[in-house]
Amino acid sequence: MRKNRISECLVKTFDYGLKEILGETAASIVYEYLETNLSIKKEEIPEKIEDFRRGLKNFLNTGAFVVEKMVLEKLYGSYGLKFEEKEQYDFEDYLNELRRKIATNKIQRKK
């Protein structure tokens, strides 16, 4: 159940991040690209995170890093945690770390 909450939060946070950075129209174009070219629907992002990231990088190039960082900051913040960059960590490492912190500390998502 906790993994589903993180997945749901991740989808909402990615959506928010894309729309905040790119705008509503451009975010829709990104989603259309991902669905058409990689068969990834918005709600499938958590299950296909590696493919999603690859598609995001193909579409946005270096801009994908900005979106990922913003999403991580918002995602961590939604659990009352501060996002801190670490050497040799990638997006999945940060997600796994967040899952561990939530499981270990019984952290609840802020509304």
- Give the integer Cα–Cα distance in Å for 89 and 105: 21
Q: What is the value of pTM for the model shown?
A: 0.78
- In single-letter form, the type of residue at position 84 comes to E
Q: Are 49 and 18 in contact (CB under 8 A)?
A: no
- Give the integer Cα–Cα distance in Å for 54 and 21: 18
Nearest to 46 by CA among 4, 16, 76: 4
pLDDT digit string, tens, across residues 51-98: 999 999 999 898 888 888 988 998 898 888 999 999 999 998 998 898
- Give the integer Cα–Cα distance in Å for 78 and 70: 12
CA atoms within 13 A on the CB side of 17: 21
- In single-letter form, the type of residue at position 64 comes to A
What mean pLDDT do residues 93-104 have? Answer: 86
pLDDT digit string, tens, across residues 21-42: 889 999 999 999 999 999 999 9
